[in-house]
Amino acid sequence: MTELTRLTRELRDAGETALVPFLTAGYPDLETSRRLIAETAAAGCRILEIGVPFSDPVADGPAIQLASSKALAAGMTLGKALDLAAEARREHDLRVVLMGYLNPVLAYGPEKFAKACAAAGVAGVIVPDLPLEEAAGLRAVLAAGGVSLVDLVAPTSGDDRLAAYGASATGFLYLVSTTGVTGAGLGADIQSYVERVRRHTEVPLFVGFGISSPAAAAEVGAVADGAVVGSALLRLVDEAGDPDAAVAAVGAFLRETRAALAD
């Protein structure tokens, strides 16, 4: 059992809906990125997604596209994102899931990446452009180091695909809430979607894409084991104007959302 599997089950058994913040590494700059990470821990989050910026993020909407291009312009790389992840793991009570597109991983070298993830204490990796049919190779090299490859499933995934994903899932299964890109809004009928996926797997189910408010998180939390919030946080950072305001806005949003999930 991987570390991520243990933690997500522990949270589920304790009746807690996990709130998973997503932050783009190096956005708006490296120092503020560190402070934002610390703030997620201070707000009580236990799992953090760190986004590795890519030049062509086809699964992402405007907020993450903007954060990615600014982070790249400021010099962020996969190697530096791994350093940031190691620091987050070391200095806070956080388990880190790295989310990044395949090409930077290929350029870094998949085996080297898997070893670096294990060394950094990265608990899981999400690759949005690596569906089931293409994932076996990376899943194997990550598993060798005790790191989960966290799969995404979508409302368009049929039962046969959900069964296959369910069979190979470790850590948690990430349910894309809607047919669409990140930040576009929550999909309809989350309850029946989550129930449909749950028939195929025992792993905890986390829902992401389009959770833009504490109320939307609560709607997800009523049926799922976790809620991932990304674009909403990055929009707060973008609107904040300065690092202090960004950290304060993100902290307030996370605390309010955790409270909504606990109700």
Supply the residues annotated as catalytic.
49, 60
65 is an interface residue for another protein by CB under 8 A: yes
Contact predicate 117/40, CB 8 Å: no
Q: Which of 152, 158, 150, 214 is closest to 186 using CA atoms?
A: 214
Query: How far apart, in whole angstroms, are the C-alpha atoms of residue 193 and residue 260?
Result: 21
φ, ψ of residue 122 in degrees (nearest 5): -65, 130
Question: Minimum distance between the CB of residue 41 and another protein, rounded to whole angstroms?
Answer: 28
Contact predicate 12/204, CB 8 Å: yes
Question: Minimum distance between the CB of residue 158 and another protein, rounded to whole angstroms?
Answer: 6
- Choose, by CB under 8 A, the member of 119, 140, 163, 188 that binds another protein: 140
φ, ψ of residue 24 in degrees (nearest 5): -75, 125
- Choose, by CB under 8 A, the member of 84, 94, 105, 216 that binds another protein: 105
Cβ closest to another protein, residue 145 vs residue 155:
155
Question: Minimum distance between the CB of residue 134 and another protein, rounded to whole angstroms?
Answer: 6
Quickly count: other Cβ atoms within 10 Å of residue 50's Cβ.
24
> In sequence order, what E strands does the chain have?
18-24, 47-52, 95-100, 124-126, 148-149, 152-153, 173-176, 205-208, 226-229
Query: How far apart, in whole angstroms, are the C-alpha atoms of residue 106 and residue 198?
Result: 32
- Choose, by CB under 8 A, the member of 141, 143, 223, 240 that binds another protein: 141
144 is an interface residue for another protein by CB under 8 A: no
- Choose, by CB under 8 A, the member of 22, 27, 54, 172 that binds another protein: 54
Question: Minimum distance between the CB of residue 79 and another protein, rounded to whole angstroms?
Answer: 8
Residue range at the interface with another protein (CB under 8 A); choices 12-20, 125-133, 214-222, 248-256: 125-133
Residue range at the interface with another protein (CB under 8 A); choices 39-47, 131-139, 196-204, 228-236: 131-139
Query: How far apart, in whole angstroms, are the C-alpha atoms of residue 86 and residue 78?
Result: 12
Beta-carbon contacts of 129 under 8 Å, excluding residues fewer than 6 positions away, are: 58, 59, 101, 102
145 is an interface residue for another protein by CB under 8 A: no
Residue range at the interface with another protein (CB under 8 A); choices 11-19, 28-36, 83-91, 122-130: 122-130
Element spanning 36, H or E: helix 30-42
φ, ψ of residue 76 in degrees (nearest 5): -70, 145
Q: Which of residues 157-176 bind another protein (CB under 8 A)?
A: 157-158, 161, 176
Residue range at the interface with another protein (CB under 8 A); choices 34-42, 115-123, 137-145, 238-246: 137-145
Binding site for another protein (CB under 8 A): 54-59, 61, 65, 69, 72, 77-79, 101-108, 110-111, 128-134, 136-138, 140-141, 151-158, 161, 176, 179-181, 184
